[in-house]
Structure 1
């Protein structure tokens, strides 16, 4: 073993990413209600069951008019009724007639155009006058102008965010086929981690990793089971034996390095896991461990994170998201950004993920590193909005472009 960063057996960040993307087998699919599909990926394309709009409708509050005259200014129309949004009306217009209509109301037969109420003068209960010229067909939303019946609304792999969920709901889609969400267990190792404030001793620390991972996964749509385990090989082995057949993913914190009480890796071997990789040439998070258990149609993947909470946070942003996405057949890296760095950075033997803050300076995106970057420190996450990847063994000068990932 040589100087830090040159240890034999370390793989690159890009190699680790490719292993994470290519190793997991895609989860099965299921049909669920659209309203419950947030944070899921579609396993089948979705086609519109209707036209959108599904009928000609008014784009404004105003009056539906019937007139073939090109000069509508000062023209008087006989008012014969009213159509509200959601109301089925059988009124029809003849030349010179008008119907009061509201936004979203169904356009009556015979309508040539709609006059918004701001350009209409009410003369009496039965007559209105137009005070501006109107083109034929204005302020009418035509049937199918946004979406045609049978049109593809969403392809396989579409991520269901709030916008896509709303778009499918508007088209009347009731159910979608999605990849199943991973069932995840979080295992916090370490006798030094107190499980509660009442149990904290003078030689222990508060648990940041459990709440961090529980809520990180919650944002992803996963209700993870968090378990604390003592630093005993028998306890870790027994826990893995029980979890591997029940969960799709086990995420551990601590216990993946080379210490006397680092049992995650050897205990995973004892219960049938196969190592995909161990140790990445990066900072923080060098002892990152990834393993798979694939037996008799049951697959489980173990992502062993270091114990220091900043390394946990960074590795979840870079690798955890990729693993969960790959299980839902999304096997591509999240696109990042390029920005100018505002200060110099000294070279380091390993590639680094630095917590930074991004700002715009006269339309130029700039990033600045925050203080307290050590892997046991989290206080700068109050300000962090991006991770910036700094190449190994390279001095970075102020003004250079660097690669970042918004978080």
Structure 2
């Protein structure tokens, strides 16, 4: 299960043996990520949260038999023929207690949602009624039990409304609210730290003259989590073994997951992996046969109380960070909340050829529907240090390794949601 548990297991960052596939890496993440504990919160605060316990209805829906229309509740022992008259004895509105009981030949003015009075056999919508001071006349054929919503016809008491693992959408919250649900038990949101390594990050324009660059990774990751309704704590650390070790030592006991960028390959100033291993993180994998983002680390630290801190070390190039967030961090985030399932890849047809590559690639593309088919077009500037094409990309496409891709060939595509 574990790959390369010691720092000496990989000698370089080229095409060395032992690289695992993308699918293997994703499966290891799902296998090794434990769901977090549960908490009970108000339903109106639970949008997009994942249920940690099923919800059964405590009531029937409708709660009582009620009128489906504005009209007249009628008591008749058979189908009503046109021009049949009924004595009008009163009125009932929605939310009003019902005290009257209809007898044969009687009718009661009723409004949508109002409780059906005893003795009612059918409801006549007002459009088929001639109203007179003391009676009504039904002008069309009317079957028994028309326009009556029966008690429990939508949901019966005890019925399963929502299952463990279900994500609560706007519609789900509305449905649960109608069933009287006020609180739900959901998986806890993970507490996440983001570590940006590197001495080359510029704070001001003046810093650029000394060879530094602006940081895209921290804003990228922060915005990505904002789109997933999460907040994260961001830390910048200098490129020294001592500084990286000290920060990881602090974070491993406070956070459910740590995401780092940079410092994860085999350079002289790549301290993420050796620092993590020194502190007792167990390496699950390091390096994936993919482009961009090959030197990626996934490791676990198990605390004395058996809870875990996950470390996913992403390369420093921003395109690799972006792909890592969309594909791997999204899988981790879901698994921490009880969702151990693969990403939902669609498919589309390439509109042009692609040259082969030794590694599986994730390319930023633009997808459009034409003639009922999804068409994929690769964008320029795919290098791992470039992000400008994300202004136009709406999907990530998996391109298999080792074979040329021809126009018309169908490839997996993951639509970008943020």
Residue 155 of structure 1, aligned match among 160, 163, 169:
163
- Identify which of 211, 220, 237 aligns with 1:212: 220
Give the drift of 1:340.
2.0
2:272 is the alignment partner of 1:264: yes
Return the match for 2:71 from 56, 62, 87.
62
Distance 1:357 1:117 in 2: 54
- Could you list the runs of 5+ residues in structure 1 that have no partner in the other structure? none
Give the Cα–Cα distance (whole angstroms) in 2 for the partners of residues 53 and 191 of structure 1.
Answer: 64
Q: What is aligned with 1:117? A: 126
TM normalised by structure 2 equals 0.89
Aligned in 2, Cα 1:201/1:80: closer, same or farther, shift over 3 Å?
farther
Say whether the 8 Å CA contact 1:5–1:349 is kept in structure 2: no
> Does the 8 Å contact 1:45/1:155 carry over to 2?
yes
Residues 365 and 115 of structure 1, relative CA distance in 2, 3 Å threshold: farther
**Residues 209 and 116 of structure 1: CA distance in aligned 2, closer, same or farther (over 3 Å):** farther
8 Å CA contact 1:56–1:143 kept in 2: the answer is: yes
1:21 matched to 2:36? The reply is no
**Among 242, 251, 254, the residue aligned to 1:234:** 242
Query: Whole-Å Cα distance in 2 between the matches of residues 51 and 126 of structure 1?
Result: 36
- The within-5 A match list for 1:261-300 is 261-297=269-305, 298-300=307-309
How far apart are 1:342 and its partner, in Å? 2.1
Q: CA deviation at 1:241?
A: 1.1
Q: CA deviation at 1:376?
A: 2.4
- The separation in 2 between residues aligned to 1:201 and 1:126, in whole angstroms, is 89
Shift of 1:405: 2.0
Aligned to 2:179: 171
Kept in 2: contact 1:119–1:132 (CA 8 A):
yes
Question: Of 362, 376, 387, which residue of structure 2 is paired with 1:367?
Answer: 376
Q: Compute the displacement of 1:287 (Å).
A: 1.3
Partner of 1:201: 208
**RMSD of the alignment, in Å?**
2.4
Distance apart, 1:64 and its partner CA: 2.4
> What's the CA shift for 1:292?
0.8
- Residue 392 (structure 2) pairs with residue 394 (structure 1): no
2-structure distance, mates of 1:341, 1:60: 53
Cα distance in 2 for residues equivalent to 1:273 and 1:381 = 34
Match of 1:191 among 183, 190, 199: 199
Tell whether the 8 Å contact from 2:78 to 2:144 is kept in structure 1 after alignment: no
Match of 2:18 among 2, 9, 13: 9
Give the corresponding residue for 1:339: 348
- Give the SS at the match of 1:201: helix
Shift of 1:137: 1.7
Q: SS in structure 1 opposite 2:208? A: coil
Distance 1:109 1:200 in 2: 82
Aligned mates of 1:361, 1:105 — CA distance in 2: 50
Name the structure 2 match of 1:140: 148
Q: Is the 8 A contact 1:114 1:140 kept in 2?
A: yes
Contact 2:355–2:404 under 8 Å retained in 1: yes
Kept after mapping to 2: 8 A contact 1:5/1:350: no
How far 1:2 moved relative to its partner?
Answer: 11
CA contact (8 A) 2:349 2:409 kept: yes
Is this contact kept in 1: 2:13–2:295, CA < 8 A? Answer: no
The secondary structure found in structure 2 opposite 1:30 is strand
Count of aligned pairs between the two proteins: 405
* Whole-Å separation in 1 of the counterparts to 2:202 and 2:173: 41
The runs of at least 4 aligned residues of structure 1 exceeding 6 Å deviation read: 1-5
Question: Partners in 2 of 1:117 and 1:210 — Cα distance?
Answer: 63
**Are the structure 2 counterparts of residues 126 and 379 from structure 1 closer, same or farther at C-alpha, using a change threshold of 3 Å?**
farther
Cα distance in 2 between the residues matched to 1:371 and 1:86: 63
Q: How far apart in 2 are the matches of 1:58 and 1:334?
A: 45
Q: Which runs of 5+ in 2 are unaligned?
A: 1-9
CA distance in 2, matches of 1:220, 1:350: 30
Contact 2:253 2:303 in 1 (8 A): no
User: Deviation per CA, 1:181-224, whole angstroms, max 9, x where unpaired?
Assistant: 211011122222235x5775333333322222223223333221
Could you tell me which of 211, 221, 226 is aligned with 2:229? 221
Give the TM-score, by structure 1 length: 0.91
